[in-house]
Amino acid sequence: MSRASIPDLLAVAALSLCLLPGSAGAQQKTLKEQLVGTWSLVSIDSTGADGKKTQVFGAQPKGTLMLDGGGHYAMVLTDPGRPKWKSEVRTALSTEELAVAAKGLVAQFGTWSVDEDSKVWTRKVEGALSPNLGGNEVKVTVGLSADELTVTANSAVSFTGGRTETIFRRAK
């Protein structure tokens, strides 16, 4: 190998390293690309119009949010402190048992998009525990820092009529 080809090889190697994913030379992912994946619920905290703060589903809520690259989503959030049912047969439950169970559950699916500039995440709800949500669009603000997703909802789409902040962590 000649001396002239060594610098050429070093230049090609350096350029190749810059083009590897995750390197400083690689192209930044869009917000949508960063949101795609499975997220685990960390917390849901709501501040009512009166300023009162509430942990909507307790101190250690459970849940998952799945966002696919094709624009579909599914979300299930639960309060693990909900009382157990007296029967395994759902149709045999009392109205009260069903009401308590429903208050500690968010379940919905549909399609989604995000506005890259305003960071507004729009969910078009196709089906949900709440019959009032079906067919509606829900708009919330998102913030993304490393593997943590913060979703902020105001007034009409919050749990208390004030502001609700939901935090997810990327599932590993």
CATH 2.40.128.280, the chain: domain bounds:
36-170
Residue type, 125: V
Angstrom distance (rounded) from CA 155 to CA 146: 27
Fold held by 36-170: Lipocalin (2.40.128)
Q: Can you say how many angstroms the Cα of residue 4 is from the centroid of all Cα atoms in its chain? A: 54
Residue type, 20: L
Angstrom distance (rounded) from CA 36 to CA 39: 9
Please list the residues that pair with 108 across neighbouring strands.
Answer: 75, 128
Q: What is the DSSP letter of 156?
A: G
Angstrom distance (rounded) from CA 164 to CA 77: 14
Angstrom distance (rounded) from CA 37 to CA 69: 8
Provide the phi-psi class of 146: left if phi over 0, else alpha when psi is between -120 and 50, else beta: left
pLDDT of residue 6: 57
Question: What is the DSSP secondary-structure string of 32-80?
Answer: HHHH-EEEEEEEEEEE-TTS-EEETT-SS-EEEEEE-TTSEEEEEEE-T
pLDDT tens-digit map of 3-44: 556 555 444 544 454 555 554 445 799 999 999 999 999 999
pLDDT tens-digit map of 120-136: 999 999 999 999 899 99
Nearest to 11 by CA among 136, 19, 54, 147: 19
pLDDT tens-digit map of 42-99: 999 999 888 899 998 999 999 999 999 999 999 999 999 999 999 999 899 999 999 9
Residue type, 154: N
